[in-house]
């Protein structure tokens, strides 16, 4: 297909059959998609929406397998103030020549996919067609970690943050600055700005080093709030006299402001309105980075999943209107390993899930774990090595060069992960270039288990109503 043909095709792909979905009061379902930076959120949402619009790769979705999905189209989202997820741009990147992974994104974004289907059961004969508006909400997992700040005072937070910083080389500049300031001295804006800048730089450096359990989340992803006073503070050692107008007292006020104007509105306006949730985890990446990265991922995951147990946090319980009733933990980028190893990976995620959360705490919510790939960038092959057959995958490296890859056998439990010395010499995945794709009338990008993930998350809402 020519380049202009592809562009035409992509625009038709996203074109809404809006007239078919114009009725008011049709049910909607808000699906939250979250995960730490680079976990695969944008790729997941782009491919999910594309595969809902063109569904021949979605036979694991029962309503599709039964031929009951009559139409699906993008339609205008209900929230006027939230940025729309840039589906066309991200899909265009995937189908470009050469294809590109989507750019990094850093705030909440939303996309509505409206689905018309035939209900089942006794209602089928009475009601005719039904519609479901699926509102997909993309938000950074880092913002969920901020929940832990809510019950903390500035001193509590500063103590915890400084204890972590003391063990990390990345904090050297910040600690040097901190030692040079007097917390009791009169507040000067320039001091707060320098402190906040160095502390943000420290958090950014930690993230580049593979740490993910980092707060305050907006210091990493400030969005439109960059430079606001509520983001211009940093931890100082506990002080005895927080005289009003001192550097320490102002830092403490700003920490409280951060909770009030950043954390609380996020939970109230976005989080509290979700019906279902998928949490994406780049576990293969963490395993490749070694034991410390895995421990950090586990800790971050516990923090993230903690937000879904409102009972454990009275502040959150108070603002939650309804409860999330289905939660799926998905390990992404499973196309990096041959499907023969997927059972190990699934077992590992299930184990991770049960270690990170006390399932009993999810009263009334159905929780599951799965290994997926938003966009499959590899094909599977077998090679003979030393008389044995080794299952490998073939993909393109970022240089464009084709390669056969065998990252190693992933561990199948947390115990195994803890016992062995995991790291790049035992198990290593490297980034791949996206696959070269041709748009087709009937199918979206290749994926792994997006249909099964969707069946878990919304399958019940595409049956009887």
Enumerate binding residues for ligand GTP (CB under 6 A): 35, 37-43, 101-102, 104-105, 140, 332-333, 335-336, 373-375, 377, 431-432
Q: Does 42 bind Mg ion (CB under 5 A)?
A: yes
CB of 349 to Mg ion, least distance (A): 21
Q: Which is nearer to ligand GTP, 102 or 463 (CB)?
A: 102
Residue 99 interacting entry, from Mg ion, ligand GTP, none, C-beta within 5 to 8 Å by type: none
Binding mask 120-149 for Mg ion (x = CB under 5 A): ------------------------------
Distance CA 215, CA 401 (A): 38
Q: If contact means CB under 5 to 8 A according to the sort of partner, which of ligand GTP, Mg ion, none does residue 10 touch?
A: none
> Which of 47, 105, 356, 452 touches Mg ion (CB under 5 A)?
105
Report phi then psi at 306, rounded to 5: -55, -30
| Structural tokens at position 346 | 């699934």
In angstroms, give the least distance from the CB of 222 to ligand GTP.
14
Q: Which is nearer to Mg ion, 142 or 335 (CB)?
A: 142
Starting at the edge strand that comes first in sequence, how are the strands of the sheet with 109-117 ordered?
Answer: 69-75, 109-117, 130-140, 28-35, 276-281, 326-331, 366-371
Q: How far is the CB of 432 from ligand GTP (least distance, A)?
A: 4
**CA–CA dist 110, 126 (Å, integer):** 33
The closest alpha carbon to 179, from 188, 165, 189, belongs to: 165
Please report how close the Cβ of residue 176 comes to Mg ion at its closest, in angstroms.
Answer: 34
Q: Which is nearer to ligand GTP, 236 or 377 (CB)?
A: 377
Q: Which two tokens stand for residue 204?
A: 């950014």
Give CA–CA dist 354/98, Å, rounded. 41
Q: Could you give the maximum distance between any two Cα atoms of the chain, in Å?
A: 76
Minimum CB–partner distance for residue 44 and Mg ion (Å): 9
CB-nearer residue toward Mg ion: 43 or 165: 43
Under 8 Å CB-to-CB from 412, ≥6 apart: which residues?
A: 343, 344, 345, 347, 348, 351
Residue from 41, 90, 254, 259 that binds Mg ion (CB under 5 A)?
Answer: 41
The answer to whether the beta carbons of residues 324 and 307 sit under 8 Å apart is: no
Angle, CA 84 vertex, CA 79 and CA 88 arms, to 5°: 150
Q: Integer distance in angstroms from the first to the last C-alpha of the chain?
A: 42
Q: Least Å distance between CB 336 and ligand GTP?
A: 6
Judged by CB, which is closer to ligand GTP: 134, or 432? 432
Instruction: State which residue, 105 or 289, has the beta carbon closest to Mg ion.
Output: 105
From Mg ion, ligand GTP, none, interface partner of 64 (C-beta below 5 to 8 A by class): none
- Taking the C-alpha atoms of residue 193 and residue 342, their distance in angstroms, rounded to an integer, is 48
38 contact, one of Mg ion, ligand GTP, none, CB 5-8 Å limit per kind: ligand GTP
Stretch that binds Mg ion, among 38-46, 149-157, 189-197, 441-449 (CB under 5 A): 38-46
Q: What are phi and psi of 287, to 5 degrees?
A: -65, -40
User: If you ran DSSP here, which 8-state letter would residue 329 be given?
Assistant: E
Question: What residues make contact with Mg ion under the rule CB under 5 A?
Answer: 41-42, 105
């Amino acid at each position: 297909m020519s380049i202009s043909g592809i562009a035409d095709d992509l625009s038709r792909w996203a074109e809404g059959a809006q007239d078919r979905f114009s009725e008011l009061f049709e049910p909607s379902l808000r699906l939250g998609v979250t995960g730490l930076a680079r976990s695969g959120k944008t790729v997941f949402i782009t491919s999910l929406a594309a595969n809902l619009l063109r569904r021949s790769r979605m036979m694991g979705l029962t309503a599709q397998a039964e031929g009951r999905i009559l139409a699906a189209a993008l339609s205008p989202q209900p929230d006027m103030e939230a940025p729309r997820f840039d589906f066309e741009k991200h899909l265009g990147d995937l189908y470009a020549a050469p294809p590109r992974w989507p750019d990094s994104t850093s705030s909440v974004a939303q996309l509505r996919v409206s689905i018309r289907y035939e209900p089942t059961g006794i209602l089928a004969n009475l009601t005719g067609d039904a519609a479901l508006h699926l509102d997909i909400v993309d938000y950074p997992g880092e913002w969920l970690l901020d929940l832990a700040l809510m019950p903390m005072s500035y001193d509590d937070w500063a103590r915890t943050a400084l204890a972590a910083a003391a063990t990390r080389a990345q904090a050297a500049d910040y600690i040097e600055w901190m030692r040079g300031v007097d917390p009791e001295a009169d507040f000067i804006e320039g001091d707060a700005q320098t402190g906040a800048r160095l502390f943000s730089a420290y958090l950014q450096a930690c993230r580049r080093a593979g740490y993910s359990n980092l707060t305050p989340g907006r210091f990493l992803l400030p969005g439109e709030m960059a430079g606001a006073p509520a983001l211009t503070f940093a931890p100082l050692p506990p002080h005895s006299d927080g005289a009003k107008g001192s550097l320490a007292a102002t830092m403490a006020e700003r920490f409280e402001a951060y909770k009030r104007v950043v954390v609380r509105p996020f939970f109230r306006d976005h989080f509290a309105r979700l019906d279902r949730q998928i949490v994406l985890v780049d576990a293969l990446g963490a395993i490749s980075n070694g034991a410390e990265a895995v421990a950090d991922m586990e800790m971050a995951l516990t923090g993230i999943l903690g937000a879904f147990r409102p009972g454990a946090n009275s502040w959150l319980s108070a603002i939650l209107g309804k409860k999330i009733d289905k939660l799926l933990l998905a390990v992404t980028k499973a196309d990096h390993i041959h499907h023969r190893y997927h059972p190990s990976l699934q077992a590992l995620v299930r184990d991770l899930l049960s270690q990170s959360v006390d399932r009993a705490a999810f009263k009334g919510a159905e929780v599951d774990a799965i290994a997926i790939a938003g966009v499959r960038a590899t094909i599977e092959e077998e090679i003979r090595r030393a008389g044995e057959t080794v299952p490998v995958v073939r993909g393109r490296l970022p240089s464009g060069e084709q390669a056969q890859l065998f990252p190693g056998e992933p561990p199948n439990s947390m115990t195994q992960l803890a016992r062995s010395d995991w790291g790049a010499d035992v198990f290593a995945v490297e980034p791949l270039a996206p696959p070269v794709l041709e748009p087709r009338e009937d199918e979206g990008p290749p994926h792994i288990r997006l249909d099964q993930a969707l069946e878990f998350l919304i399958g019940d809402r595409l049956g009887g109503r």
